[in-house]
Structure 1
Amino acid sequence: MEFCHKKNSPGDVRLVTFNVNGIKTFFQYHPFNKMHNSLELVFDFFNADIITFQELKTSKDIIYKWGKINGYHSFITIPKSKRGYSGVGCWIKKITDVKNPLYNILQVVKAEEGITGYLNVPNNSSGSAKTYRQDPSSSLGGYEKIDDAIFGDIDTLLKLDQEGRCVMIELSCNTIIISCYCPANSMRTEVGESFRMNFLKVLFQRIRNFYTMGKNVILMGDINVARDIIDSAESMDTFIIPKNRGLNENDFINYINKTTPSRKLFNSQLIDSKLPSENSILLDSTRYIQGYQRLKMYTVWNTILNTRPINYGTRLDYILVTKNLRDDLQNADICPEILGSDHCPVFADIALKPKPDCNSVPDNGLPPQTPKLECKYYYKLGTSDITTMFSKLQRGTTPTASKTKSNSKKVGKPIRIDGFFKTGKTKSIANIHKLIKTNKNPPMMPRETLKQQQLGMFDKNDIPLCKHGEKATLKTSKTDKNPGKKFWACSQPPNASCGYFQWAPT
């Protein structure tokens, strides 16, 4: 299966947003079930330059699966307290070829977590905690009137950023990408609606601030608001319309006026709304391209009632752009044919342009320094392995040694190794205790060491060349038919692989 939407021009930026409703289950559906849990293959399928996911429902202990993607910058935020809830990600394609038309467009300049600026900057080199508002080198700015939007209540503002709902990325083309999962208030409570309204007020105020600063803004994600009567099948069924006539403009206006505060607020931000305001600066890219005459353009369906086959749903997922990007919109649509979630993807192709001064890349020709929110830094997705941890345990130290005030030398702390393993694994724990007591290393070795030993079985002249003319990589089969059997394969990542395969002699 191929993605049916093609780019009009290689210079267009393809943006895709998708509420995956749990990234692990996402890979159980066609065509993603053929992609071996590889986000790299998913992004290639969409031909995406910028892709945002919502409702990742992941946690820190498995973030490495989604935070180190070949060829992409990765930015992921997850809830501060609730495990396996919410969470959004944004991936930006890395462009290293200066001749690529997207080189001066997709360089990542800065990245920020949350919408309020009150979260702490990760890996702060100064040693003392700083919020984004206190660190101009990391923040995107644009905090004016944010506190006023909800009467300056700092505690309320902090709560808005505790559920892993937003990341913001600034690109070298003077454009800010916002990946967002807005609150839904599914239970329709007063408290839930208040939380949602506060979130939307701060979000839209921040976007207006960016626009005032001269930035382009693209808001991508699940806004959790159906903007018009035609964006909800239930509303189309229940809203009273005189017989023998279709919808007219007054019907749209009456519907918005009689609906929830969040829908009225949402429409007040849109220049193509039937009720725009003086603050309207955003354009609904999908509706702008597809037009108001297209009905049943839904992006989410009720899975319990199985309403997707009859297309009885709601449109909650959007790619919204500031009005100065209207003429740059090339294409936009929903993709209801793509499964993997109760939502479907939404895409837009935009001809983003480099900054007029062409100084998006420093004079030394190198891309900007990677922001601290990049997953490999934020979640410490380094190259260390469990072997390193055990070598420190043998010396009686914790994996992270502390410093004394007197001599600043690292001093180990006595530990219990049982804490590094799940309870019930008594036999494994006993074996580890025995290994440490006898001063023997655990029967593990770094991946590179193991790889060298495996290659050592072959003369260097025996290592075949793949179709690229490069030395092939030795791998191990994990199939039921040939478990543990060695084979040679192309060393390039899946999207660049030449498909070379050869069984290794045993």
Structure 2
Amino acid sequence: MGFRITTWNVNGIRNPFSYEPWRGTRTFESMFDILESDIVVLQETKIQRKDLRDDMVLVPGWDCYFSLPKFKKGYSGVVIYTRNATCAPIRAEEGITGVLCPPNSSVAFRDMPEEQQIGGYPTLSQLTSPSFASDLNDLEDPGEAALSKERIDAATLDSEGRCVVLEFPAFVLIGTYCPAYRDESRDSFRMDFLNALDARIRNLVSQGKRVFVTGDINIARAPIDSAHALEGIRKNTTTEQEFVTSPPRRLFNALLADGVVVGNRENDKEQPVLHDICRSFHPNRAGMYTCWDTRLNTRPGNYGSRIDYVLCSLEMREWFSDSNIQEGLMGSDHCPVYAIFKDRVLHNGNVVHIHDIMNPPGIFEGGDRQKEYSSQYILPTSGRLLPEFDVDKRRSIKDMFARKPPSMPPRLPSTPRAVENLTAPISIEQAPPAPGQIDSDGLLNTPDDFSASKSMSRKRPPPPPTVAAKRSKSAAVPNAASTAGQKTLKGFFKPKAIGGSASSHSSARTSSYGAFDSDAGTSSSRICATNDSSTAEGAQNTEFPLDNSAANTWNPLIPSSPNKLDQDTVIDPIVSKEDWSKLFTKKPVPRCDSHEEPCISLTTKKPGMNRGRAFWICPRPLGPNGEKEKGTQWRCPTFIWASDWNGSSQPES
């Protein structure tokens, strides 16, 4: 298999893992192996830097270069993955204009020394925005569509994460995600980006560098590349000339060797510089679409458009052995597009192996590796060098929970003054128990076992005492005991004396709960027996005075007299159950007229009085014509408002 480059708009970097064949392994390494690619360019990653994970960045055997949006969240984004075994770039940049800065630097790419630049940056005169006429048919010469110009904000163009540029000895690779048409508010930004991209490509070619452009251009270059355009031409709602003369499409076709440009070309765009690789292998193939509308489910009927491209400089057109789309691979509203290089190509007048010119000099010779890939070939813009993914600076989570070695107790001073200071009163927690209160197991025996267990649980094990410490403890115990007003630890657990009978009852309860043995079941039964006997005795010895008001008080244990209305009313539980079931049961789903299949429910999002209303339509996809058809295998004209459907006419299934 030759050297392959694949482009894919994934509509979210993790989106493909919800589909086969990616769902089984759910790793980028296996995804790239299935794609059989050496360079993978992904667009619309829709991820922020803080959400990047190890499996996205630290892919075994791969390097990566990200361009992420600076402000918008979950939007746009481009990443290029390169296989270390077959290729390694010599320079890498983010953005199309060169105004962004490398990591840990305040110098823009375009202001760096010339030997560190990729070059071809748009000049100040090229960073201008032409304002196009709304209707080019009213002009005598559509080539004079640029009526006025105003300065383009380069920093704004590169703030949305739409371009990554890598340079290899063979060519400069531009992976891009061009803005799509949404509304008039984005028309200016879209044209500004396309003009900057056009200028960068032409400048690189004029410097003698070969260029490989790939990604989601978001432009269908000809009617054959758009099912919607073919439908409009068939219905006479538009013409082919109107289609190709739209400003973005005209600018894109001016770059291509076989692009259709109506009228005279602009002065700086007279010569085409790019070759459409995929279309050159399938010049007359209809329906070669790469993007479909998932909301309308137009992919099964192949009603889509070709807006993803693999393009190259004109002198590279003989370097490729195959190029195609992979419409069978699911995972996004786009499909992958690839181009495969020949093993040997004509480079600067010499026939060389493609691996020799896809790596720094000396890595490959004649297609055989001479040096192993190492970290010295990683460029500063690589995702592997982001601080949060630097393996050398990481701390394992196991280290946070590992038990630290105990610190050695400090040595006690041996001076007489220090020994005297040690005889000062010790705090309650540090005071050792009396010698007669320690049993053979080392446990504390006190009159109150419960209190002893509490004190033992709170007491920290002291370090092994030294000779000086033993002497100080023997002198400290009587001082601590004779301290006026100082309580012992057991004093906190003794009940306070309230009154005669209350005090004795409290003491009895405390002793009953405190006197438990090691057998939990025995202690529990003993406590329950004590409580039950005391309750029975209290019930026998207590006398309650009889009050007339108590007799009139409602007692829940005495059934009240039945109501006459309750005797006459008979409630059938089966009928009640059916009524409740009807109340909470969903209405049956209607079936379409042509296929008798359950309809699907959608919600209107078009602005107007029906916005937000739900409706039912046929579940089948639209056909190749993009229309609803009656009596065919495609979507039929069935349409039912959800508010009008009562489920009464539901046919039996």
User: Could you tell me which residue of structure 2 aligns to residue 59 of structure 1?
Assistant: 48
2:152 counterpart of 1:158: no
Which letter maps to 2:277? S
Q: 1:344 to 1:302 in 2, by over 3 A?
A: same
Which of 161, 166, 170 is the matching residue for 2:167? 170
For 1:265 and 1:13, the matched residues in 2 are separated by 30
For 1:69 and 1:40, the matched residues in 2 are separated by 6
2:20 counterpart of 1:30: yes
CA contact (8 A) 1:146 1:202 kept: no
User: Could you tell me which residue of structure 1 aligns to residue 249 of structure 2?
Assistant: 263
Which letter maps to 2:294? T
CA contact (8 A) 1:21 1:56 kept: yes
User: Could you tell me which residue of structure 1 aligns to residue 321 of structure 2?
Assistant: 330
CA contact (8 A) 2:127 2:151 kept: no
After superposition, where does 1:25-104 map in structure 2 within 5 Å? 25-35=15-25, 37-64=26-53, 65-95=55-85
- Following TM superposition, by how much is the alpha carbon of 1:317 offset from its aligned partner in structure 2, in angstroms? 0.6
For 2:62 and 2:320, the matched residues in 1 are separated by 23
For 1:58 and 1:167, the matched residues in 2 are separated by 16
1:312-346 CA-to-partner distances (Å, cap 9, x unmatched) read 11111111111111111211111111100011110
For 1:111 and 1:337, the matched residues in 2 are separated by 32
CA contact (8 A) 1:147 1:153 kept: no
Provide structure 1 residue ranges, at least 5 long, that are not aligned to the other structure. Answer: 1-6, 96-101, 243-250, 395-437, 439-506
For 1:380 and 1:138, the matched residues in 2 are separated by 26
CA contact (8 A) 1:67 1:76 kept: no
After superposition, where does 1:385-404 map in structure 2 within 5 Å? 385=395, 387=397
For 2:150 and 2:164, the matched residues in 1 are separated by 22
- Following TM superposition, by how much is the alpha carbon of 1:387 offset from its aligned partner in structure 2, in angstroms? 4.4
SS at structure 2 position matched to 1:27? helix
After superposition, where does 1:374-389 map in structure 2 within 5 Å? 374-378=382-386, 380-383=388-391, 384-385=394-395, 387=397
* Larger RCO, structures 1/2 (Cα 8 Å, 6+ apart): 1
User: Could you tell me which residue of structure 2 aligns to residue 479 of structure 1?
Assistant: none
After superposition, where does 1:3-18 map in structure 2 within 5 Å? 7=1, 12-18=2-8
Which of 289, 305, 308 is the matching residue for 1:314? 305
TM-score, with normalisation over the residues of structure 2? 0.51
SS at structure 2 position matched to 1:227? coil
For 1:342 and 1:49, the matched residues in 2 are separated by 23
For 2:3 and 2:199, the matched residues in 1 are separated by 26
CA contact (8 A) 2:163 2:175 kept: yes
For 1:298 and 1:255, the matched residues in 2 are separated by 17
For 1:312 and 1:57, the matched residues in 2 are separated by 25
Higher CA-based Rg: 2
2:94 counterpart of 1:113: yes
Which letter maps to 2:190? R
More helix per residue: 1 or 2? 2
- Following TM superposition, by how much is the alpha carbon of 1:153 offset from its aligned partner in structure 2, in angstroms? 7.1
- Following TM superposition, by how much is the alpha carbon of 1:226 offset from its aligned partner in structure 2, in angstroms? 0.8
User: Could you tell me which residue of structure 2 aligns to residue 433 of structure 1?
Assistant: none
The alignment yields a C-alpha RMSD, in angstroms, of: 2.9
CA contact (8 A) 1:16 1:48 kept: yes
1:2-60 CA-to-partner distances (Å, cap 9, x unmatched) read xxxxx4xxxx321111000012222001111112x211101100110111000111222
Provide structure 2 residue ranges, at least 5 long, that are not aligned to the other structure. Answer: 130-148, 364-369, 405-459, 461-653
TM-score, with normalisation over the residues of structure 1? 0.65
- Following TM superposition, by how much is the alpha carbon of 1:123 offset from its aligned partner in structure 2, in angstroms? 2.6
SS at structure 2 position matched to 1:209? helix
SS at structure 1 position matched to 2:202? helix
User: Could you tell me which residue of structure 1 aligns to residue 644 of structure 2?
Assistant: none
CA contact (8 A) 1:138 1:371 kept: no
CA contact (8 A) 2:97 2:122 kept: no
Q: How many residues align structurally?
A: 356
Which letter maps to 1:375? G
Q: 1:237 to 1:146 in 2, by over 3 A?
A: farther
Higher mean displacement: 57-66 or 86-95? 57-66
1:112-164 CA-to-partner distances (Å, cap 9, x unmatched) read 0000100011133xxxx111012235431112536524169777111000011
SS at structure 2 position matched to 1:23? coil
User: Could you tell me which residue of structure 1 aligns to residue 117 of structure 2?
Assistant: 139
Which of 282, 289, 292 is the matching residue for 2:274? 282
